[in-house]
Amino acid sequence: MPKVFVVGPDYSIRNMFLRAGWTISTSIDETVNLIQFTGGEDVDPSYYKETKHPKTYSNPRRDAAEAAIFHEWKAKIAMAGICRGGQFLNVMNGGSMWQDVNNHAIGGTHEAFDRVSELPVQVTSTHHQMMIPASHGKVLLTAELATRRETADTIVEGLDTDTEAVLYLDTNCLCFQPHPEYVNINHECQVLYFKYLDRFLL
């Protein structure tokens, strides 16, 4: 039975793992199989050397605390992030962010493309930022929703591929922007999340 340490008091994510048969750990040690980072505030752009966009809201204290966990345990214990957690791990692995995009902070689900199975999948989308993977990241899941992306001084019109999930093999990190904890255990978004964990991290 795998064991997960959930960073922060996210009960939805804890319950998702419990329903899937995992054990929740109250501390991080060598018996933990996964450190799970959760949703919340935007990652401060200073971590990827950009100025803050007017719509970016960050929590420097949280960033610093989670960065300390990442640096202490990277490449020792597998790590995964959901929404902000995925964006955080992307940045910690050298990626950056589109600080404001449209069409992603929506209710319900939207179609994405699983590059592993080469099949479409319905996933949730409640974020206003988008990951830009580092060159060594392996993109696993994409969508084509954003029609406008911005940084503090740049607006990009038009459409290219949105990165929804990326894997960093050298640090054993999975970055996943959708919210699998928002759907039931049989929903394809949650099934896909655990499939990625089993195939790439565990």
> What is the structure's pLDDT at 146?
84
- CB contact at 8 A, 77 and 34: yes
Rounded distance between C-alpha atoms, residue 161 and residue 69, angstroms: 31
pTM of the shown model = 0.96
Start-to-end CA distance of the chain, whole Å, equals: 11
Return the CATH number of 3-201, one of 3.40.50.300, 3.40.50.880, 3.30.930.10, 3.30.70.2500. 3.40.50.880
pLDDT of residue 108: 85
The single-letter code of the amino acid at 77 is I
Under 8 Å CB-to-CB from 75, ≥6 apart: which residues? 170, 171, 172
Count the neighbouring beta carbons within 10 Å of the beta carbon of residue 5.
20
Residue 159: the pLDDT is 65
Task: Give which of 194, 191, 129, 140 is closest to 168, Cα–Cα.
Answer: 140
Tell me the pLDDT tens digit for each residue of 64-115.
Answer: 999 999 999 999 999 999 999 999 999 999 999 999 999 888 888 999 999 9
pLDDT of amino acid 89: 98
Residue 17 confidence (pLDDT) above 70: yes
pLDDT confidence of 40, banded at 50, 70, 90? very high
Q: What is the pLDDT of residues 132-190, one digit of tens each?
A: 999 999 999 999 988 888 877 778 887 678 999 999 999 999 999 999 999 999 999 99
The predicted structure's pLDDT at residue 124: 93
Closest CA to 173 of 140, 142, 143: 140
Enumerate the domain spans of the chain.
3-201
pLDDT digits (tens, 9 = 90+) for 125-146: 899 999 999 999 999 999 998 8
Instruction: For residues 2-28, give the mean pLDDT.
Output: 97
